[in-house]
Structure 1
């Protein structure tokens, strides 16, 4: 369990912060006005828990030349330090429920328009379910686009094929030297 954040340097708004006086409990809630660093703290905890250094590398303090550093103290004296763009240890017991969690774990269909009403009735929770729903949605969109493309191609052939079906028209062979509309048989 995370007990304390010992130090944060050059990460987001935390240019050089030592918040070690504030211990964490089994459930800790953080509340502050917008722009005070809540998302940065969430990224810090997620970065350590999931070993995703890029979450912090993307949050370098603007204008800082000091290397990024963070030190977290966990139960039983375990520590993890973020230095040189890597975590010294990963701890899976930290869960962060923020906007990124919602976006990666909850799928509710996205856009609101007539063609998406059916999708809006879908609801999936969890990263695997969200990935599956997104893959299904992408495949459905791709299939609809292929159907539109096929229909457009068939519509272009209609004036040339007469009463022949598209499949029959495609099987016709070109007559050498023939010109005009009826040059296939």
Structure 2
């Protein structure tokens, strides 16, 4: 209950609403005045203080003044309720206002009774106990409206994906577990088809040539023996060669056989008739022997070239080229390039050369 109006300034017609001091209210107080004397303004102030409404106070500010509205009310518990500097302060009193605004909102206006008016009147009749339920009903109504809107928007969106099926048939379709993977794969195909010319220009990996080295012919040459060389002649020549013990001496004798066209030695001019060593030379260094020596010499070169480190280097270089080409296809194919261990390959080649070359060299000096 309001006991006194202490201050009422700059609100509507109330430039100074209490010129003679505070106005006291009793249990029942009646206010009578002619029209346009401020009765509705005073009712608006009471409604505004009950609702802590600032907007109503601003709307009712006295015209042609720059000062803000000010209101001070003394309540029955001696508490002060103030409006100043654009804000209410103090305990809000329990005030019910039945004015034209109440009738407009809750009862009747114009030529019809609107639904919202009936609803407001019902809430007023039920009292404060209905307020929490009303708020809950409003919340649920908003949620229902939001869900309805979401459903409608979702259906509109799904219709674009469902066509030419209707929504129900679309919903009845069996789910695809790996849909994302399938979509990605189809998109890759579409992209590949649109970029066909660029894909055609991409290089394919090439087959790395294997080390083509057949041991069969190697061991065939190493195991060859000339049966037409007499054992005696072989012994005589071998004994003579062992006495010289000079590198290349055997080749020098072998090559010199082509110059022995007469019965005299082309080197010293002495006769070579009936010399056992010369006869042994002719048996030992015959054409088959020379051919075998040539094959053994070629054999060593073949081993060196076929099992050279450069063979491994070429294979490793081709493997790197293939890896780069495979990497260029990663956007279309999920494949990892094979790895080639160049160091291990070279180690194998070195080991093979270390076995075969000494065998060829030993065969050459036999």
TM range (shorter): 0.5 to 0.7
The answer to whether residue 9 in structure 2 is matched with residue 9 in structure 1 is: yes
- 1:73 maps to what in 2? 74
Classify the secondary structure of the residue corresponding to 1:165.
Answer: helix
- 2:158 maps to what in 1? 154
CA RMSD of aligned residues (A): 4.5
Q: Distance in 2 between matches of 1:7 and 1:70?
A: 5
Q: Distance in 1 between matches of 2:164 and 2:71?
A: 70
**CA contact under 8 A between 2:74 and 2:81: conserved in structure 1?**
yes
More strand by share: 1
Q: Distance in 2 between matches of 1:79 and 1:90?
A: 8
Identify which range, 36-45 or 162-171, moves more after superposition.
Answer: 162-171
Q: Which has the higher contact order (CA 8 A, sep 6+)?
A: 1
Deviation of 1:134 after TM superposition, in Å, equals 1.9
The answer to whether residue 103 in structure 2 is matched with residue 64 in structure 1 is: no
Tell me the TM-score normalised to structure 2 length: 0.34
Tell me the TM-score normalised to structure 1 length: 0.58
Q: Where in structure 2 are there 5+ consecutive unaligned residues?
A: 106-113, 192-366
Of 144, 161, 170 in structure 2, the residue corresponding to residue 165 of structure 1 is: 170
Identify which range, 83-92 or 7-16, moves more after superposition.
Answer: 83-92
Deviation of 1:25 after TM superposition, in Å, equals 4.2
More helix by share: 2
**CA contact under 8 A between 1:161 and 1:169: conserved in structure 2?**
no
Deviation of 1:30 after TM superposition, in Å, equals 6.7
**CA contact under 8 A between 2:7 and 2:22: conserved in structure 1?**
no
Q: How does 1:16-55 map to 2 (within 5 A)?
A: 16-18=16-18, 23-26=24-27, 37=38, 40-49=41-50, 51=52, 53=54, 55=56
Q: Distance in 2 between matches of 1:140 and 1:29?
A: 48
1:78-116 deviation line (CA, Å, top 9, x unaligned) = 54443333456325344445647x96xxxx9759xxxxx
**CA contact under 8 A between 2:12 and 2:61: conserved in structure 1?**
yes
Deviation of 1:166 after TM superposition, in Å, equals 4.0
Q: How does 1:100-119 map to 2 (within 5 A)?
A: 110=116
**CA contact under 8 A between 2:9 and 2:17: conserved in structure 1?**
yes
**CA contact under 8 A between 1:49 and 1:90: conserved in structure 2?**
no
Deviation of 1:73 after TM superposition, in Å, equals 3.3
Over 3 Å counting, the alpha-carbon distance change for 1:164 and 1:83 in structure 2 is closer
**CA contact under 8 A between 2:79 and 2:91: conserved in structure 1?**
no
Q: Distance in 1 between matches of 2:38 and 2:67?
A: 19
Identify which range, 56-65 or 144-153, moves more after superposition.
Answer: 56-65
Over 3 Å counting, the alpha-carbon distance change for 1:164 and 1:136 in structure 2 is closer
Deviation of 1:139 after TM superposition, in Å, equals 0.9
Over 3 Å counting, the alpha-carbon distance change for 1:79 and 1:157 in structure 2 is closer
Identify which range, 70-79 or 148-157, moves more after superposition.
Answer: 70-79
